[in-house]
Amino acid sequence: MRRTVVARVPGAVRRCRRTACVIAGAALLPPLLILPMSGCADPSDRRLQDAFTDAAREFHVPRSVLMSVSYLQSRWDSHPDAPSVAGGFGPMHLLDPELVTTPAPSADTRAADGVHTQPPAAPGPAATGGADTSPGHAVQPADLPHAARLINVPAEQLRKDAVANVRGGAALLAATQRQLGKPLSADPGDWWEAVARFPGTRDVSSAAAYADDVFALIRRGAHRTTAEGQEVSLPASPRVRPREHTPTAPGPQRQKDVECPAELACDWLGAPYEEIDDSAYGNHDLADRPRDQPIEYIVIHDTEAELPSMLQTVQDPTESSWHYSIRSSDGHVTQHVKTKDEAWHSGSQFVNARSIGIEHEGFLTQPGTWYTERMYRASARLVKYLAKKYAIPLDRQHIFGHDNVPAPTADSIPDMHDDPGPFWDWRHYFDLLGAPLRATAGPDSDMVTILPDYATHKPSFTGCTGSGSPCRPHGSSAVRLYTEPSERAPLIQDPGRKPDGDDSTVDVNDLGSRVSAGQTFAVADRSGDWTAIWFQGNKAWFKNPQDHPTAVGAAGRMVTPKEGLDEVPVYGRALPEEEAYPDDIDEPDESPLPYSFQAGQRYVTQSGVGSSYTAKSFTDTPNPVVWGREKYYEIQFGHRLAYVRASDVDVVSSTATSGPQESPAARTAPSGPSAPSGSAGPASPAGSAGSAGR
């Protein structure tokens, strides 16, 4: 969302509670092979796999339970560079109480529609000393110092040594199982309650959803090469089901305004709809979606600030707004704007009118710290719920980042945002959405979907810690584009982003020469290990070797200029024709984008859109929407999306080659209402496109 960096809010330190039992014999066992958090460059390295096997045997925890919990905590990554924002370390994401910050205050601690609930008090400082065997002392879930005491090693070792970290996680699971009065059973089905307690989630519905996710993973199985180069496999156990367990107590009463799936911890903190002065208001618009216009998009943002400051921002009528915020540490969701209303979040009034904006706490330059698995999973649950509610296709032309939003006008291109950035794991995200990104045609198809292997694909970037400074290698969804099939060739340039003719760079915030996982393009050429796509009117080359492909074959539809047209204009919004506007609503400037779409070129489309414009004013009723007869196609034109008039282009199908033949979902252009629903004056400056987040 913003590029403002704010100081971390100091948090209360949690108390490490003592367990009611001791893991028998743990202190007498010899130390295991140390696997440093820095990992190994050899992708066939299986030391982490062996660590899970050994720790499961040592502490009598089913290996499938231990591995699935670790996957839900970290996807088996160690994240050696830094702890997570929650203060978590290693494959088990064990929490260091000294690094844990108090979560941002939730709306359920404030007055909201007459509902008041008070969260538990924050625990105090960590306890020291050995394990307490007296009854009544609960195991502190995922607590790193407690795990260190259980396995009798220094806490620092669990921060740096992945094997010790796994052993500590196994010891905690076993201690929790005993605290619950349950046997250390070899049957995974007996461990549901211990699993639900492991992450320390206070919200009971979230804890149950966590445990259910662990058991779903056990049934499905998993295989992954981690960010540290460790090859890890969990065999599928499709018959595993949790045994009967004590029902969880109902959680706090949810505010009536919250639109959220039942299994998520969600609350409400409303954004203000207020008049600032005679010419401006904030910070969103009243609407009646989807009655007055469809909700077609979900825009994924990151905050570029810590959540407490963003919760202040969204309550300021002079600032931007968005529909939901998701906390990094635990995936807690807060809603700010009703989905029927229009938030100012994307930088494009046209996209705002048709979208839902979701902010994720984090900084795009620190993905290992902020882009947590808990946040990914909460976000995916929310998006699945919203996509089903509003019939939004689960593809990358409808679920996209703030960095993919088309600039509404030519002069607004340099001001468009770049979050959630190249380190957001789109491939994993769509797996969680239940719509995996995959090949839909053979490798020689005339369309390709960008799909690098996130964990092992680590292009170089600069600017994470300072201008020009190299970023630490990290998995990425981004694939870099060149003017020729060579990494020594110049990068592709974006004349709209850099109108002064400056070159594209490898800076983490420079989108000018890269594409992203899940985006689909028309093939322009091939040469050996290189593939060229049509990109903003040019051939753009990327390395795509057969043994480590960065793109896969795709089938679907493309648009190309109609016969006899040498070039067609490209737009950042789909506006109605001039005669569609009533006399009391001013027509906005059309402003084609400064790119070339020439005869013979092709761009992928997954949907048609109707033309519309929302007139803005501060009223107590939804703003009127002007609908036109002009139809458009949304296309993947560059890193960002764009629109072309349906009357300017022909739609052609890809020539699918051998391989999967599944065609991406395609919708016809909606007609929309035939006339505006009312009248209003010119758009309010507070609602104009192009300002930060609006």
Q: Are strands 355-360 and 324-326 parallel, antiparallel or unpaired?
A: parallel
Q: Is 375 left (phi over 0), alpha (psi -120 to 50) or beta?
A: alpha
Low-confidence ranges of the chain (pLDDT < 50): 2-34, 38-41, 43, 102-139, 658-693
pLDDT digits (tens, 9 = 90+) for 95-125: 988 876 544 444 433 333 222 222 222 233 2
* Per-residue pLDDT, 228: 86
pLDDT at position 303 = 97
pLDDT of residue 252: 56
pLDDT in tens, 344-374: 999 999 999 999 999 999 999 999 899 999 9
- Provide the β-strand partners of residue 634: 607, 643
Statement: the pTM of the whole predicted model exceeds 0.95: no
- Contact 134/20 with Cβ under 8 angstroms? yes
What is the distance between the terminal CA atoms of the chain, rounded to a whole angstrom?
A: 10
Q: Which CATH class is domain 26-104+130-234?
A: mainly alpha
Looking up tokens 């939730």 gives 106
Q: Apex CA 238: angle with CA 234 and CA 244, to 5°?
A: 110
Q: pLDDT tens across 417-461, in order? A: 999 999 999 999 999 999 999 999 999 999 999 999 999 999 999
Q: Which residue has the tokens 């109609």?
A: 562
**Per-residue exposure over 393-407, b if at least 16 CB sit within 10 Å of its own CB, e if not:** bbbbbbbbbbbbbbb
Judge contact between 540 and 533, C-beta under 8 A.
yes
Q: Return the pLDDT at 131.
A: 33
pLDDT at 35: 54
Other Cβ atoms closer than 10 A to 653: 13
Rounded mean pLDDT of the chain? 84
Per-residue confidence (pLDDT) for residue 99, from 0 to 100: 78
Token pair, residue 687, equals: 């609602």
Q: What local confidence, expressed as pLDDT, does residue 375 receive?
A: 96
- Looking at domain 266-392, its CATH architecture is 3-Layer(aba) Sandwich (3.40)
Domain boundaries, the chain: 26-104+130-234, 266-392, 558-685
